[in-house]
């Protein structure tokens, strides 16, 4: 059962910066986690316009907001305003979690952990796998970084604009000098039945599929039952529906959301995240 927080003079403030932020599910499940431990804290949404981000960060310091999640469109832009960056933020170039220690802000990226932890529920052993990553935008960077860390064999990264894949290879070179052998930039036209025989896992990191009538990224009828198919959108997209009908293992974006939040909670509090409680609150 979730115990409501009593607000008092000692209540700590946590929150999320986004624009828009109304759709965010983080307040509901982070609040459940604080309540579980009876930590006197509230977690609130802050709608921060892009042009107000720097002032909002200064405000967070001045108001002693203890921890923040950062979402679209601020994940990249917040970096110059932080005092310290964790290793993954330096490579991914995006930050979704900030810990405030007496005005000293440390930036983390827990999307990578969230994605890998949820994918492992379907595929416990990622080493040596071949992964088809659809998209090369901001969201793909944490995912590709995590897959490289897990020792996957090849990442076929598809994008309309292949320069964005080249940029990712460039940015990750310092992390793994073999990155050019792992990430292969490919155009959508390259995806055919033969190519997909070599793929174990398919991940959609684009926003295509958010609407049911969105165009397909490739011919999903080519998907084979052996594929594990993940979409980071929080619903059953056309991609997931076709994959499910084919008998594939599938997953939407909710587990990734849950685990990135669980890791953020651990960074802020030093306590193991009550994942079952958080999941229950998220699915409500
Ligand atoms: P995010 O932070 O959500 O990743 P982004 O950085 O704007 O957002 O990236 C959006 C991704 O979705 C990109 O990979 C983009 O492809 P391009 O870089 O080629 O534009 C992809 N995308 C968006 N709409 C698309 C569409 N209709 N077809 C294919 N890819 C699309």
Per-residue pLDDT 10s for the chain (284 aa) are 455 568 999 999 999 999 999 999 999 999 999 999 999 999 999 999 999 999 999 999 999 999 999 999 999 999 999 999 999 999 999 999 999 999 999 999 999 999 999 999 999 999 999 999 999 998 999 999 999 999 999 999 999 999 999 999 999 999 988 999 999 999 999 999 999 999 999 999 999 999 999 999 999 999 999 999 999 999 999 999 999 999 999 999 999 999 999 999 999 999 999 999 999 999 98
Ligand 1 centre to CA of 140 (Å) is 9
- Tell me the longest C-alpha to C-alpha distance in the chain: 64
Alpha helix segments (H runs only) across the chain: 26-36, 53-62, 87-92, 111-122, 138-149, 163-172, 179-182, 193-196, 238-245, 254-269, 275-283
Ligand 1 centre to CA of 108 (Å) is 23
* Residue that the structure tokens 């990249």 belong to: 76
Range(s) for CATH 3.40.50.720 in the chain? 113-252
Q: Indicate if ligand 1 lies below 6 Å from the C-beta of 73.
A: no
What distance in Å separates the CA atoms of residue 168 and residue 121, rounded to the nearest whole number?
26
197 is catalytic: no
Q: Indicate if ligand 1 lies below 6 Å from the C-beta of 161.
A: yes
- Span 12-109+256-283 CATH architecture: 3-Layer(aba) Sandwich (3.40)
Q: Indicate if ligand 1 lies below 6 Å from the C-beta of 160.
A: yes
Q: Indicate if ligand 1 lies below 6 Å from the C-beta of 136.
A: yes
CATH class held by domain 113-252? alpha beta
Catalytic one among 25, 49, 75, 235? 75
Nearest CA to ligand 1 atom 6: 137
Q: Indicate if ligand 1 lies below 6 Å from the C-beta of 165.
A: no
Ligand 1 centre to CA of 19 (Å) is 18
3-state secondary structure of 215: coil
3-state secondary structure of 222: helix
Range(s) for CATH 3.40.50.10860 in the chain? 12-109+256-283
């Amino acid at each position: 059962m979730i115990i409501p927080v009593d607000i008092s003079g000692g209540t700590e403030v946590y929150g999320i910066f986004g624009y828009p932020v109304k759709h965010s599910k983080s307040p509901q499940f982070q609040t459940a986690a604080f309540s579980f431990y009876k930590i006197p804290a509230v977690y609130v949404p802050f709608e921060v316009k892009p042009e107000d981000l720097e002032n909002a960060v200064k405000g967070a310091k001045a108001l002693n907001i203890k921890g923040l999640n950062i979402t679209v469109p601020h994940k990249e832009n917040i970096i110059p305003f932080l005092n310290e960056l964790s290793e993954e933020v330096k490579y991914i170039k995006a930050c979704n979690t900030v810990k405030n220690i007496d005005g000293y802000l440390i930036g983390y990226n827990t999307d990578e952990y969230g994605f890998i932890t949820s994918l492992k529920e379907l595929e416990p052993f990622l080493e040596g796998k071949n992964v088809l990553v659809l998209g090369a935008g901001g969201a793909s960077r944490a995912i590709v970084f995590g897959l490289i860390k897990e020792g996957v064999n090849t990442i076929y990264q598809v994008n309309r604009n292949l320069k964005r894949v080249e940029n990712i290879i460039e940015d990750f070179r310092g992390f793994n000098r073999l990155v050019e052998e792992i990430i292969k930039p490919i155009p959508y036209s390259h995806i055919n039945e033969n190519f997909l025989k070599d793929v174990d896992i398919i991940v959609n990191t684009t926003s295509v599929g958010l609407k049911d009538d969105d165009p397909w990224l490739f011919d999903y009828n080519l998907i084979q039952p052996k594929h594990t198919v993940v979409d980071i959108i929080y619903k059953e997209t056309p991609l997931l529906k076709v994959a499910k009908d084919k008998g594939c293992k599938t997953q939407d974006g909710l587990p990734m959301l849950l685990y990135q939040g669980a890791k953020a909670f651990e960074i802020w509090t030093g306590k193991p995240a009550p994942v079952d409680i958080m999941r229950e609150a998220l699915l409500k």
